[in-house]
Structure 1
Amino acid sequence: MNPEISENSLYPIAVLIDELKHDDLSLRLNAVRRLSTIARALGPERTRNELIPFLDESIDDEDEILLAIAEELGDFVEYVGGPAHAQVLLHPLENLAAVEETVVRVKAVASLNKICEAMSDQQVEEYIVPIIKRLHGADWFTSRASCVGLFATAYSRVAATTQEEMRRAFGQLCEDSTPMVRRVAATKLSDFVSVLQPEYVSDVAVQYFNVLSVDSQDSVRLLTVEPLVTIASALTTEQVGQTLVSSFRDLGVDKSWRVRYMVAEKFVELTKLMAPHLSKDEVVEVFVGALKDTEAEVRTAICSQIPGFCELVGREDVIEKIYPRLKEMVSDPSQPVRTALASHISGLAPLFEKEATHQYLLPLFLRLLKDDCPEVRLNIISKLDKVNAVIGIELLSDQLLPAIMELAEDKQWRVRLAIIENIPLLAQQLGVEFFDDQLTHLCMSWLGDRVYSIREAATRNLKNLTEVFGVDWAKSAIIPKILGLSNHPNYLYRMTTIFALTTIAPSVTPEVIRSSILPAIESLVTDEIPNIRFNVAKSLETLAPLMKDSPDLQPLIESQAVPVLNKLTQDPDQDVRFYAQRAGQTITG
């Protein structure tokens, strides 16, 4: 704490006044951010009697300052003397909850709720409820919009008569003349429903929902989908059938695509809640309707629901009624739709099982793998494990491996990266013999890729393959090929040699490190490229723990590693000397 503040109790307010009146916005903002420090210096009593009134009277008109004050005051209960005095913070926050800027109002309401939670029930009844009433009765819509956000926190803390008044007031806000207020009411309806007594959910909450779900503004209606889930979850199956099913039907075919989009995002969850009162044919019809929607955004959203919904209706209905539309969507004119479909369609494989997956899904996968959009191809590749688990590697290799081989050289590096990341999975399923025949050369070719991320992933891939097939396989299949790159005329290949050998080292035996890895790395100590020489030093630094932990390798520290690093510390390049010195400290420390 600044000694001047503690010695002169007048200092904080005086300085704060000067800074809050300064022309420089950043200085005023910094002053607000220091309010907690000033409050600690003043003590609770002076904070209540001087600082808070001063803030209340001199609130800045800059939105950034108002936002900062609204945020700070939410954490000020301890500085005013604890919950017993928390009410002194309410007036400035009530004023902030009425300003025009939305973000300021939202933060002010959040702070009011935080203070409300710290108060006793008596304080909530005495101080928070009057604020709700004043905001609710205000002429300007900003106050009424802020009022909505206070109901859920205060409701369970007040008397039954007050709760009844609050329920009526919330209903009035759902029918407010200003759309902005109704939007907030729709947004906060789920929170309010969560604190309502069960006997009021089926009556009052449904009434709120019914009013908002047929609002003339689609920006209000789209916000009722979340409350629909909340209310339906709180009701019995019979009550859902009596009160909400018709609303679900209406929202699913709403004239506004934005409303249909919101329904599509929650389709599986809503279907589970409504299913007892809807025939399977009716639900499937709505789902297929979403898949055929005229707006691409709706089709994109419903794609995420494909696995979950199809599991609900069963394979036979999916093949008969939904699959024809999926077949069409593979060629959807919208790229985001195809991308979403590729991401989720593999989730059908467990439902279809082996034979049906091979018959129906594989043709779709193959078409998506040849899509012009790299994201589409990427999403199919990244989910191949689900398909493989169902159909087995034989069918996968026969049908999809040729397409995978083609994508391994895709011009989009992210597609190549996705292929690399799935290689260990394929290797596990293919077996060593098939892998050596078909894919080993491909894995080695990635080490020379023009994109660094691919080369880096290729080295990790070789380490993973070593763990899959064993050290003996690595000694015969990949290490000789890596060593051959150490003499390549292109320096990138020589650099990759260092990276690959260093990455593989933890997965091989000390004998392989001694006989193959260390000699190859040391042979590059005189390379003409400084980047390669300092990577030799970094490699030895990485290998140091392995050498120290192995009795067979410990003698090589003094006989091979230290001499190499000593030589590099005399290198004319500054970076090489730096990494050599650092590696020397690690390896001898």
Structure 2
Amino acid sequence: MAGVAGPRMGQGAAGGDGDDSLYPIAVLIDELRNEDVQLRLNSIKKLSTIALALGVERTRTELLPFLTDTIYDEDEVLLALAEQLGNFTGLVGGPDFAHCLLPPLESLATVEETVVRDKAVESLRQISQEHTPVALEAHFVPLVKRLASGDWFTSRTSACGLFSVCYPRASNAVKAEIRQHFRSLCSDDTPMVRRAAASKLGEFAKVLELDSVKSEIVPLFTNLASDEQLQKAVGPKITLNDLIPAFQNLLKDCEAEVRAAAAHKVKELCENLPMEGRETIIMNQILPYIKELVSDTNQHVKSALASVIMGLSTILGKGNTIEHLLPLFLAQLKDECPEVRLNIISNLDCVNEVIGIRQLSQSLLPAIVELAEDAKWRVRLAIIEYMPLLAGQLGVEFFDEKLNSLCMAWLVDHVYAIREAATNGLVKLVQKFGKEWAQNTIVPKVLVMANDPNYLHRMTTLFCINALSEACGQEITTKQMLPVVLKMARDQVANVRFNVAKSLQKIGPILDTNALQEEVKPVLQKLGQDEDVDVKYFAQEAISVLALA
């Protein structure tokens, strides 16, 4: 901030030309050049009195330029100056001239001493409120941009504290620029700048539009929380003092969409916290908010949390999971919203790794049954697709006793997509539990459906055989499945008969030559003479593909 006084001020100070109107400036210059720091400090504290003596025009045209260009001093003096200028609006002519105070404060916001910069920012925040919207965009926003893009990190850290006060009254185009500058500071090369941005994240989020919070602030937060260089440079205290409070504010935001966006990031945040003290931070600073969200009034918030909360078990370990997380999981398994229950069940593998799934089994069963019978077919479909993994975690005995009947019931669901998914699920179960289990448990129940009065259910038998034959192998296919398929060739419904032909084409490569020639070929030849053109077509195609002509 060093400089040279203008000619007029210099003459008044040195020459004493007799013009009493210059006296206050001359006195100020002399006092500020005095070696006594206390005298210089007292002089700064008299600035309001000097300004009153000068009047608003000379304060604007002489005093403020002098303060901007000439003063360089001890930090204590600069601190007092930064504080004084925050209350100077009335002394420069009111809000219409508030922008005249920006140059000296901008200079003070770039100095090396932190307390001086902070006081300058505090004064700038105060003065920003006295600008009209037009003046704000004409004078204050450009100042923020200059600071945000300054060469020295000191100016960029100061800029972080000014975004929230100018954003609400800016135009949409300028708002977009302000958000871009803030994003840039969040990824600044200097850790101290990123720290400053992180500390103002929550404050900035409060003045942003909902869409911007969801699309920009929440991702920025998680990026900063996982910033290893930031953590190494400033330590876990910054995370605890700056980032965590900002995240807490997002988790309890009045807008459900913001809470949902933040809830979805809970696991990612916790994973990226500094290892030192991570468990304590989560247990004391994050978990209480999570407990509130478990019973949130908005189902999207609860669903978002349910999709990630299970992942906390691997971070917090067995003891904390059993004591603190397990009650939350159990509550979510009983939630009235099916998406919440489904998201918990879909992430059971995390808990299985830590405490074993048996801890949840008694509460899992009712939740699974309810989802399996949910009125929304997409909910049923989701639990079906997860069932093989769930069965593997629970074990074959639990599955046979509690879940087998559910899987068979899905095979006769009125929605084709459900029947198809259930069929594919059976194949995965056979791959998981083995051929012997399939022979004793699944195949007999599937084959019984061949006698069902509903032809759609009879066709499901054929679809299951098509899917299961490869997993079950030649022996089970030949001895158990093939006879049923051949018998169904006499079905009264043409759709069933042509699906028999398609099934024989599908399982043919698995059968031995003897079965193909003696059992399959005669049946296909007969179907090839069927009165229904579709049956005839698919039978002749099967004969050709299997080379049975």
TM (norm. structure 1) is: 0.60
CA 1:535 to 1:430, structure 2 compared with 1: closer, same or farther past 3 Å? Answer: same
CA 1:308 to 1:562, structure 2 compared with 1: closer, same or farther past 3 Å? Answer: same
The corresponding residue for 2:288 is 324
Identify the match of residue 519 of structure 2 among 560, 578, 582: 560
Q: How do residues 517-532 of structure 1 correspond to structure 2 at under 5 angstroms? A: 517-532=481-496
Q: By how many angstroms is 1:531 displaced?
A: 1.7
The corresponding residue for 1:301 is 261
Moved more, 204-213 or 512-521: 204-213
CA deviation string 1:19-71 (max 9, x = no partner): xxxxxxxxxxxxxxxxxxxxxxxxxxxxxxxxxxxxxxxxxxxxxxxxxxxxx
Where structure 2 has 5 or more consecutive residues not aligned to the other structure, the ranges are 1-133, 137-141
Structure 2 CA distance for aligned equivalents of residues 366 and 421 of structure 1: 22
Q: By how many angstroms is 1:208 displaced?
A: 9.7
Q: By how many angstroms is 1:545 displaced?
A: 3.3
- 1:291 maps to 2:255: no
Q: By how many angstroms is 1:525 displaced?
A: 0.8
- 1:475 maps to 2:439: yes
State whether residues 420 and 458 of structure 1, in contact with CA within 8 Å, keep that contact through their aligned partners in structure 2. yes
Structure 1 CA distance for aligned equivalents of residues 158 and 249 of structure 2: 28
Q: Secondary structure at the match of 1:478?
A: helix
The corresponding residue for 1:396 is 360
Identify the match of residue 364 of structure 1 among 316, 328, 338: 328
- Amino acid paired to 1:265: P
State whether residues 218 and 256 of structure 1, in contact with CA within 8 Å, keep that contact through their aligned partners in structure 2. no
- Amino acid paired to 2:266: I
- Amino acid paired to 2:361: S
CA 1:532 to 1:224, structure 2 compared with 1: closer, same or farther past 3 Å? Answer: farther
Q: How do residues 487-526 of structure 1 correspond to structure 2 at under 5 angstroms? A: 487-526=451-490
- 1:582 maps to 2:541: yes
Q: By how many angstroms is 1:224 displaced?
A: 5.4
CA deviation string 1:332-363 (max 9, x = no partner): 22222222122222221211222322332233
- 1:240 maps to 2:194: yes
Identify the match of residue 407 of structure 1 among 371, 382, 389: 371
State whether residues 218 and 258 of structure 1, in contact with CA within 8 Å, keep that contact through their aligned partners in structure 2. no
State whether residues 229 and 269 of structure 1, in contact with CA within 8 Å, keep that contact through their aligned partners in structure 2. no
CA 1:226 to 1:330, structure 2 compared with 1: closer, same or farther past 3 Å? Answer: farther
CA 1:564 to 1:325, structure 2 compared with 1: closer, same or farther past 3 Å? Answer: same
- 1:253 maps to 2:206: yes
Structure 2 CA distance for aligned equivalents of residues 349 and 472 of structure 1: 35
Q: By how many angstroms is 1:517 displaced?
A: 1.3
Moved more, 397-406 or 203-212: 203-212
- Amino acid paired to 2:259: R
- 1:271 maps to 2:230: no
- 1:375 maps to 2:339: yes
The corresponding residue for 1:455 is 419
TM (norm. structure 2) is: 0.64
CA 1:293 to 1:245, structure 2 compared with 1: closer, same or farther past 3 Å? Answer: closer
CA deviation string 1:466-492 (max 9, x = no partner): 111211111111111111111111222
Q: By how many angstroms is 1:446 displaced?
A: 1.7
- Amino acid paired to 2:306: A
**Structure with more contact order per residue of length (Cα contacts < 8 Å, sep ≥ 6):** 2
The corresponding residue for 1:67 is none
Structure 2 CA distance for aligned equivalents of residues 497 and 201 of structure 1: 74
Q: Secondary structure at the match of 2:369?
A: helix
Where structure 1 has 5 or more consecutive residues not aligned to the other structure, the ranges are 1-176, 180-184, 548-552
CA 1:543 to 1:266, structure 2 compared with 1: closer, same or farther past 3 Å? Answer: farther
CA 1:557 to 1:335, structure 2 compared with 1: closer, same or farther past 3 Å? Answer: same
CA deviation string 1:291-343 (max 9, x = no partner): 11011121111112100212316233322232222222222222222221222
Structure 1 CA distance for aligned equivalents of residues 347 and 180 of structure 2: 30
Q: How do residues 140-159 of structure 1 correspond to structure 2 at under 5 angstroms? A: none
- 1:384 maps to 2:344: no
CA 1:405 to 1:316, structure 2 compared with 1: closer, same or farther past 3 Å? Answer: farther
Q: By how many angstroms is 1:251 displaced?
A: 1.7
CA deviation string 1:178-230 (max 9, x = no partner): x9xxxxx9xxx9xxx9xx9xx96959998999987744347554675566455
The corresponding residue for 1:24 is none
Structure 1 CA distance for aligned equivalents of residues 177 and 365 of structure 2: 45
Structure 2 CA distance for aligned equivalents of residues 419 and 203 of structure 1: 55
CA 1:418 to 1:569, structure 2 compared with 1: closer, same or farther past 3 Å? Answer: same
CA deviation string 1:209-257 (max 9, x = no partner): 998774434755467556645544341223434x634543532333544
Structure 2 CA distance for aligned equivalents of residues 535 and 468 of structure 1: 28
Structure 1 CA distance for aligned equivalents of residues 155 and 508 of structure 2: 70
Structure 2 CA distance for aligned equivalents of residues 208 and 540 of structure 1: 75
Moved more, 450-459 or 418-427: 418-427
State whether residues 502 and 538 of structure 2, in contact with CA within 8 Å, keep that contact through their aligned partners in structure 1. yes
Structure 2 CA distance for aligned equivalents of residues 246 and 352 of structure 1: 26
Q: How do residues 536-555 of structure 1 correspond to structure 2 at under 5 angstroms? A: 536-547=500-511, 553-555=512-514
- Amino acid paired to 2:477: I
Q: How many residues align?
A: 394
Bigger Cα Rg: 2
CA 1:200 to 1:567, structure 2 compared with 1: closer, same or farther past 3 Å? Answer: farther
Q: Secondary structure at the match of 1:294?
A: coil
Q: By how many angstroms is 1:509 displaced?
A: 2.4
Structure 1 CA distance for aligned equivalents of residues 199 and 246 of structure 2: 13
State whether residues 525 and 536 of structure 1, in contact with CA within 8 Å, keep that contact through their aligned partners in structure 2. yes
Structure 2 CA distance for aligned equivalents of residues 218 and 517 of structure 1: 72
State whether residues 186 and 220 of structure 2, in contact with CA within 8 Å, keep that contact through their aligned partners in structure 1. no
Structure 2 CA distance for aligned equivalents of residues 402 and 281 of structure 1: 43
Q: By how many angstroms is 1:403 displaced?
A: 2.3
CA deviation string 1:503-541 (max 9, x = no partner): 111111211111111111111111112221121122122
Structure 1 CA distance for aligned equivalents of residues 446 and 359 of structure 2: 32
State whether residues 198 and 224 of structure 2, in contact with CA within 8 Å, keep that contact through their aligned partners in structure 1. no
Q: Percent identity?
A: 41
CA 1:568 to 1:272, structure 2 compared with 1: closer, same or farther past 3 Å? Answer: same
CA 1:206 to 1:544, structure 2 compared with 1: closer, same or farther past 3 Å? Answer: farther
Q: By how many angstroms is 1:386 displaced?
A: 1.9
CA 1:482 to 1:495, structure 2 compared with 1: closer, same or farther past 3 Å? Answer: same
Structure 2 CA distance for aligned equivalents of residues 282 and 205 of structure 1: 17
- 1:335 maps to 2:289: no
Structure 2 CA distance for aligned equivalents of residues 209 and 539 of structure 1: 69
Instruction: Tell me the C-alpha RMSD between the 2 structures.
Output: 3.4
State whether residues 221 and 259 of structure 1, in contact with CA within 8 Å, keep that contact through their aligned partners in structure 2. no
CA 1:269 to 1:227, structure 2 compared with 1: closer, same or farther past 3 Å? Answer: farther
Moved more, 250-259 or 518-527: 250-259
Structure 2 CA distance for aligned equivalents of residues 423 and 257 of structure 1: 37
